[in-house]
A and B are shown apart, each in its own frame.
Chain A
Amino acid sequence: MRVFVALVLQRPVSGSGTLKSKESAVNIGSSIEPVVFAVFAVLTLVAGFLVVANPISRNPVTSAMFLVLTILSVAGLFVLLGAFFLAAVQVLVYAGAVIVLFLFVVMVWGGDGVERGKLRKFAMVVGGASLAVFLTLLGGALTGAGQDTKVGLTEGGARSLGELLINRHLLAFELMALMLLAAVIGSVFLGRKDNK
């Protein structure tokens, strides 16, 4: 895993952590960016698909592992987009915390991996139809709009994001803190042993 993170971080490292000039980003992107993007994009989608529908294993642990891969690929895309801090946070929070939590629960409680019951036809049809609608809408929106490549390329380090958070988005920041607190209290409450 560490190797993978390094690999992702290595690509845009050429400009190093802090703010880069727009020109350099464009320069670097122009040569290698499409390849990296293609790799991460394909990796993201394939891994994501394997989370949902792994033809070999239905074990949640397998799904969790592919989720890690998906998250890491997304983090790679973040890096490509210049969101270095977010990429780091993504990896730390998801790969570090969330997946560990998942694995913990899977190991303790839900590890049998059996898909019980059958999905109803109604759900299949409606769900499939709505998915198709989403996909066509997506395709229509993307092909209909013109390519947008050059406008205002920005990069986000920890400093710039932090400044923004405690200035302009202070309220949202505080609310997020409150929400996290609530989540902590909630999960503690739900996890109590005598909570029947």
Chain B
Amino acid sequence: MPAIEQLVWGILLLPLISAAGITLFGLRRPRLAGVLSVGAAAGVAVLSLLVFTGTPFGEWWECSAEWLSVGELNVPVALRFDPLSLTMGLIVAWVSFVIHVYSLGYMRGDRGFGRYFAGLSLFLFSMLLIVLAGNLLVLFIGWELVGVSSYLLIGFWYQRPAAADASKKAFLLNRLGDFGFLVGLLLVWSKTGTVDISELECKLALDPGLLGSLATAAGLLIFCGVLGKSAQFPLHVWLPDAMEGPTPVSALIHAATMVAAGVYLLCRVFFLLALPGSAALELIAWVGAFTALLAAVIATQQDDIKRILAYSTLSQLGYMVMAVGASSVSQPPVAAMYHLSTHACFKALLFLGAGSVICAVHHEQNIWRMGALGKKMPVTFVTFLIAALALAGVPPLSGFFSKESILASVLESNVAARHALFAVAVAVAALTGFYMTRLVAVTFFGPERTQIAGQARESGMILTIPLLILAVPSAFAGFWGIDSAYASQFKGAAVEHAGVFGRIAAAFTHSPVATLWGLGAAIVGIVTGLAVYWNAATDRLPEKLGLVAGWARNRFYFDELYAALNEATHEFLSRLADGVDRWVISGIMVRGVHGSIELAGRLLRLTQTGNIQIHAVLLGAGIAILLLIVLRH
């Protein structure tokens, strides 16, 4: 496919050129920056659609350019186009494009307009590099670039200390995870001699014991990178703070790029994680489940509209990671990718909707200072509602299908304690319904709690049109068979070719237990949420739950715990360094040398009495010794 091969480089180069161009020429020219960046995003969206349609269903191909050749290590810039990367790339490209357009409106008049779009383009480029990378090293480069661009964008309003801190926090925690990833990468390379994904898969398929006892370690080290990028426990604390960035950036980070990269990586190297004898998957499943539950509980007690969404993202990511962990060779992680894709759409929509709300109420983010916005902002309200219901898993919206498939895959998984996992998953589903209901009920219904909420107006076209665009996949993505596209990636997964109604029916017939539990949980969550928060003036939950609510409100004190840990470690290391400096370097080395010389000096000084007779004695003794030596030999 030569025509396509020419096109694919464009997918990568367009955003890169845009980023470079804006940085070089467009920092002071907002119009140029906007045109370049949005144009690049549009180009990428079109190209990715062309490549997607140009590739026959279920097939894969690669193209590469020579790049790095050191000794035995040969790393070309290889791009891999298989169902996984194609579908993911398509979603990334389109969601990013919509967010780019939305940003035009949201960021209008900002002093750093050009800088913002440069960062956005770089972000898009790095994410596409991750998605399309044909070997792990290139993927890692994209991975790091995502870290850099997220740093740039979260700290976009660097004048605000909170934003600067948040960007540093995100970057550092990501580095922490990336280090594990890099070590895992080196481990894999040293054991197998290749970082090329297809080659690696072939080698491991031929000899599953190639990694030997290190299979688990390699899997978990790579998972470390996912911990950081997808903000899984215990590195989850950066994601809510990343809300300090502009809202479209939050949408980008939370939906299609950055956090999605972690789950995508897990699926990318799934063959590695699922090696026989590797215990990585089970651990991954539990980390994901714990993160999902933790974040969902925290989300119920947050007041900042963006923070609620942030914790919901955390929770959903935990869901996906859990789904990957619950997968196996015979049951590949299709559900996780499916949920990732639908989640990308409705979470982007939620964030953009939140941005629209925030704009309307003059950058107020506390939901308890809003209220009754539903009538004043109909477009935002309807799209937001669709996305919220999709997230809660209400049929026939997209979230329902993907969540159902995750629940089913957990229930049917090989993990020993799959019923416990399933219980966690159901609980999270219920909590998701609850906090989304809380968010919608408090924000869009109830009384006008403040004056600014009363004066809110619907946002302009440039903000609402992206909302409408995203509402379409949020609502209907369940009918498009995204899961079959992913399923064709993995051997052993059943590829269904069903119609729209077939899919709805399949959701119930395939695994009715899981579906009914999930649906029931969502309904319970929504009903409870309505009961507690309908027309509520204040949050009544803390009175009823007491301590738990307080803990959830304070994010279970993880930040404080980490701060204390950090401080303790820092203190300990400082004391250690101080001790070493004081006792070893200054004490033993400097003062020891000085002291021993002084001691020797003092000892020698005893002989230097100045008394000439003592000198004469010593002279005599010296001659005696010399004579002894000379005459004896």
A97 CB, min distance to chain B CBs, angstroms: 25
Chain B interface mostly helix, strand, loop or mixed? helix
CA distance A133 to B626 in the complex (A): 11
CA distance A2 to B365 in the complex (A): 130
Contacts of A189 in B (CB 8 A): none
B613 interface hit (Cβ, 8 Å): yes
Using an 8 Å CB-CB cutoff, how does the interface string of B595-616 with A read, 1 for contact, 0 for none?
0000000000000000001100
B499 interface hit (Cβ, 8 Å): no
CA distance A130 to B621 in the complex (A): 5
Of A42-50, A66-74, A119-127, the stretch lying at the interface with chain B is: A119-127
CA distance A130 to B617 in the complex (A): 8
Contact of A123 among B617, B623, B631 (CB under 8 A): B617
CA distance A141 to B614 in the complex (A): 28
Contacts of B617 in A (CB 8 A): 122-123, 126-127, 130
Interface residues of B toward A: which range?
10 to 19
B611 CB, min distance to chain A CBs, angstroms: 8
Contact B614 A134 (CB under 8 A): no
Contacts of A120 in B (CB 8 A): 614
A137 interface hit (Cβ, 8 Å): yes
A129 interface hit (Cβ, 8 Å): yes
Contact of A130 among B613, B620, B631 (CB under 8 A): B620
Contacts of B631 in A (CB 8 A): 137, 140-141
B168 CB, min distance to chain A CBs, angstroms: 69
Contact of A127 among B620, B627, B628 (CB under 8 A): B620
Q: A126-B618, A130-B621 are in contact. Are A137 and B613 (CB under 8 A)?
A: no
Q: Which partner residue on chain A sits nearest B613 by CB separation?
A: A123
Using an 8 Å CB-CB cutoff, how does the interface string of A106-137 with B read, 1 for contact, 0 for none?
00000000000001101100110111011001
Contacts of A140 in B (CB 8 A): 631
Residues of B416-458 at the interface with A, using a CB-CB cut-off of 8 Å, are none
Contact A137 B628 (CB under 8 A): yes
CA distance A120 to B618 in the complex (A): 13
Contacts of B623 in A (CB 8 A): 130
Residues of B320-346 at the interface with A, using a CB-CB cut-off of 8 Å, are none
Contact B624 A130 (CB under 8 A): yes
Q: Which partner residue on chain B sits nearest A117 by CB separation?
A: B611
A90 CB, min distance to chain B CBs, angstroms: 25
B626 CB, min distance to chain A CBs, angstroms: 10
Contact B613 A129 (CB under 8 A): no
Contacts of B625 in A (CB 8 A): 133
Contact A134 B613 (CB under 8 A): no
Contacts of A122 in B (CB 8 A): 614, 617
Q: A126-B621, A127-B620 are in contact. Are A133 and B614 (CB under 8 A)?
A: no
CA distance A72 to B625 in the complex (A): 33
Contact of A133 among B613, B618, B627 (CB under 8 A): B627
Contact of A137 among B618, B620, B627 (CB under 8 A): B627
CA distance A11 to B621 in the complex (A): 41
B609 CB, min distance to chain A CBs, angstroms: 8
CA distance A141 to B630 in the complex (A): 13
CA distance A133 to B631 in the complex (A): 12
Contact of B624 among A119, A123, A133, A141 (CB under 8 A): A133
A sample of 24 inter-chain contacts (CB < 8 A) reads A119-B613, A122-B614, A122-B617, A123-B613, A123-B614, A123-B617, A126-B617, A126-B620, A126-B621, A127-B620, A129-B621, A129-B624, A130-B620, A130-B621, A130-B624, A131-B620, A133-B624, A133-B625, A133-B628, A134-B624, A134-B627, A137-B628, A137-B631, A140-B631
Interface residue ranges, B against A (CB under 8 Å): 613-614, 617-618, 620-621, 623-625, 627-628, 631
Q: A129-B621, A130-B621, A130-B624 are in contact. List 7 more A-B contacts (CB 8 A).
A: A123-B614, A126-B618, A127-B620, A130-B623, A133-B625, A134-B627, A137-B627
